[in-house]
Amino acid sequence: MSLWDKVFGEFIDIIEWTEDNPDTMVYRFERYGNEIKYGAKLTVRETQVAVFVNEGQIADILTPGLYELDTKNIPILSTLQHWGHGFESPFKAEVYFFNMRQFTNLKWGTKNPIILRDKEFSMVRLRTFGSYSIRISDPKKFMMEILGTDGHFTVTEISNQLRDIIVSRYSSILGESKIPVLDIAGNYDQLGKFITERIAPEFENYGIKLTQVLVENVSLPSAVEEALDKRTSMGMIGDLDKYLKYNVAESIDSENSSTSSAASTAMEMGIGLAMGQQMSNALQSQQPASTVAAPVAHAAPPPVPGDRWHVVLNDEATGPHPISTIKRMIKEGLISAETLVWLSGMPEWQPAAENATFKVLLQQANEHQPPPLPRKN
C-alpha cells in the first residue's frame, strides 16, 4: 500500500460491506494496520452480522443497524481499549461481515451406487442426485470451527465438505427407512424432509443451518430399468394366451397369397409356431394323450428353411407347404381335423385338430362354408 493510500485510509471513518459476490459468506473489512477511528460509523445491513475481533478474540457481535464506534454506543470498547477516561485515539480491531442470507441450489449426489436390500428386488444399486440449502446460524461458532482468519470466505470452500456429509449420512438413512425401490419416486418430498431432519443437527456443530435437502432423482441400473419396462409391458398386455391368439389371427388374415415376401411369411410362421407350442402345452395338460401315432414308414423330415408345414396325405408325408397352400388344401377338403401335420421344431406329428394354428385355419374354413339347404316338405 502506498503512503497516499495509508493517509487516505486513516481518514475514512465509514465501515460497511456491499456484497459483490453472491457466493461470499464472510468478508473481512480491510483497514491499513487494522486501525479504526474513534467515532467511525459502522453500517450493518439486513442480511448481515458484523463481528468485532480484538487481539484475536471475538469482542462483540452487531446485528443490522447503524453504529457509531464510541464508548457510549459500544461500551465494550472502553474495556478493550482502556478508554475509561475518554481517550479518543484510533484503535486496532478487525471487523468481519457475515452474510446471513440463504445459499440455495448447492448440488449433492452419490459418486458410486448405493447397494440396498429391497423386498421386491432383493439387492439393488441406486444412484441419487439433488440439491440443498444452507445459511449461517451462529457466526461465533462458524468463525471458530470453519472460518479461522480467512478474510474472504466463499460457499465453494465448504460445499464439498457439506456434500460429503450429506452423501455419507444419506446412505445410512436410506437403508434405515426401508422404503421400497418402486415407492421412492413417489416419496421424494418426504425423503428430502426426513434427510433434512436427520442431518441438520450435525450442521449446527459448524454454526450452519441446513434449511432444506431436495432429492431430485433416484436412478436404477440400466438392466433393472429394462426389467421394469418389460414388467410394465406385460401388465398392459394382460392375458398372454389371448394376446398370442390375436397376433396369429391377424397374421393369417393379412396373408394375401403365395406371392407374399419370404420375410413376411417367416415372421407370420414364427408367431404361429410360438402360439402353437404354447397352446399345445396347455392342451396336453388338460386332455389325455392322443392315441394317433405317426406312420412308422416315414421318419420326420429334416427342418426346411422358412418353417413351412409338412402334411400326411394318403399315408405319405408331403411338403413343405407355405401357408397359402395349406389354406387351399383345407378349402378343397384335402386336410381334415384328423390329418397329421408337422413343423420344424415340433417333437412329433400332430393331428390338425390338436394343433393351434390348424385349429384356427379349420375354424375359419368352416365359417366360410354355406349352411345346408333347407329340406322341401
Q: Residue 167 pLDDT more than 70?
A: yes
Task: Of 128-142, 308-322, 357-371, give the range with the top mean pLDDT.
Answer: 128-142
User: How far is residue 17's CA from residue 45's CA, in Å, rounded to a whole number?
Assistant: 8
CB atoms within 10 A of CB 237: 10
The residue to which cell 468478508 is assigned: 27
pLDDT value of position 300: 40
DSSP state, residue 341: E
pLDDT digits (tens, 9 = 90+) for 76-131: 665 655 544 444 556 677 889 999 999 999 999 888 888 777 777 677 788 888 99
Query: Can you read off the three cell numbers belonging to residue 275?
Result: 402360439
DSSP state, residue 187: G
Q: Residue 306 pLDDT more than 60?
A: no
User: How far is residue 321's CA from residue 340's CA, in Å, rounded to a whole number?
Assistant: 14
Instruction: Give 246's pLDDT tier (boundaries 50, 70, 90).
Output: low
Q: What average pLDDT does range 165-182 have in this prediction?
A: 79
Q: Does 207 or 20 have the greater pLDDT score? A: 207
Q: What average pLDDT does range 169-183 have in this prediction?
A: 76
Q: Is the peptide bond before 64 cis (omega within 30 degrees of 0)?
A: no
Complete domains list, the chain, with CATH: 3-99 (no CATH), 103-225 (3.30.479.30), 240-367 (no CATH)
Which of these ranges, 31-40, 58-67, 81-90, 107-116, has the smallest mean pLDDT?
81-90
CB atoms within 10 A of CB 286: 7
Query: Can you read off the three cell numbers belonging to residue 8?
Result: 487516505
The residue to which cell 349352411 is assigned: 371
Q: Residue 253 pLDDT more than 50?
A: yes
pLDDT value of position 259: 44
pLDDT value of position 169: 87
Q: Residue 190 pLDDT more than 60?
A: yes
Query: Can you read off the three cell numbers belonging to residue 334?
Result: 384335402
Reference 224, options 118, 111, 108, 109; nearest CA is 118
Q: What average pLDDT does range 58-65 have in this prediction?
A: 88
pTM: 0.54
Q: What does pLDDT average to over the chain?
A: 75
pLDDT value of position 171: 79
pLDDT value of position 100: 93
Which of these ranges, 69-73, 261-265, 329-333, 373-377, has the smallest mean pLDDT?
261-265
Query: Can you read off the three cell numbers belonging to residue 176?
Result: 434405515
Secondary structure percentages of the chain, helix, strand, coil, to 5:
40, 25, 35
Q: Residue 292 pLDDT more than 90?
A: no
